[in-house]
Amino acid sequence: MRKAADAAEEASNSRPFEIAARSGFAVSGLLHVLIGVIAARLAFGSSGEADVSGAIAELAAQPFGPLLLWVCFAACAALALWQLSNAIFGHRNQSHPKLSKRLSEAGQAAVFAFVAVTIMSFVVGQARNSRQSSSDLTATLMQSPWGVAFLIAAGAGVMVTGIVFAVRGFTRSFKKDLVLSPHEGPRKFQVAVGTVGYVAKGFALLLVGLLVVIATVTARPEQSTGLDGSLKALKEQPYGPYLLAAVAAGLIAYGLFLMVKAKTMRT
């Protein structure tokens, strides 16, 4: 068992695996850019699904779409495994990270694993409407023992995550994760897209978590509609199209930040 663990740790620290994992950040960045573009279309009266499924559908519709999806799946799967290995073994230069760091890495592994599974569902032709899936899952959990408590806790957890993202953006604490450029122009770009992107991503997560809590407390699971439903609900508020356009720009900025992170992430 020890030899197997050592072999797994050595593989996770290899340069080729790290490159594959970094490409997962670039794929995630591309998906966020596409989500932002779809959200911007919604703000100006168009239609679309402003979430991961909608972004993947946009990729699938491009020339060589199936090949693109396979590449994106491989990159996200590699990143999920890399994050999981970091949670278990620690980073290359940090073999004994704090528990909070390990939990964060494990959480990110779960997120990228979900993205990889979603991409694969498109590859095999079994993709589902994510908005309906979110509502169905909420309805199912509400009918199970402890389901209401779990949903409220999960919604609150997403809201707290959103607040953490926003705080990271405002305080610019994300800079410690990057190797900042020595040149002023690129460095300002790194910081700018990180600041705007983290705040916008945090606001979007706050909306998603809030809708989950509201849907659970009011026993109306159809209101738990994920990111797409949250953004569309935002549009219905006073000055909603302008707010949605601002969030769309922020999501595009966060996508650009993830692409920058793929290249300049500190390991």
Per-residue confidence band for 165, with pLDDT thresholds at 50, 70 and 90:
very high
What confidence score (pLDDT) does residue 90 get? 65
pLDDT confidence of residue 77: 93
Question: Torsion angle of alpha carbons 174, 190, 228, 52, nearest 10°?
Answer: -90
| pTM of this structure | 0.86
* 138 or 154, which is more confident: 154
Contact between residue 256 and residue 191 where contact means Cβ atoms under 8 Å apart: no
Better-scored residue on pLDDT, 9 or 185:
185
Determine contact, residues 36/259, Cβ cutoff 8 Å.
no
CA R_g for the chain: 19
229 touches 211 (CB < 8 A): yes
Q: Which residues pair with 178 in a beta bridge?
A: 265
CA 123 to CA 60: how far, in whole Å?
Answer: 9
Measuring CA to CA, which residue among 27, 53, 60, 19 is closest to residue 38? 53
Task: Using the predicted structure, report yes or no on whether residue 9 has a pLDDT greater than 60.
Answer: no
- Phi, psi for residue 72 in degrees, rounded to 5: -65, -40
Q: Which amino acid is at 265?
A: M
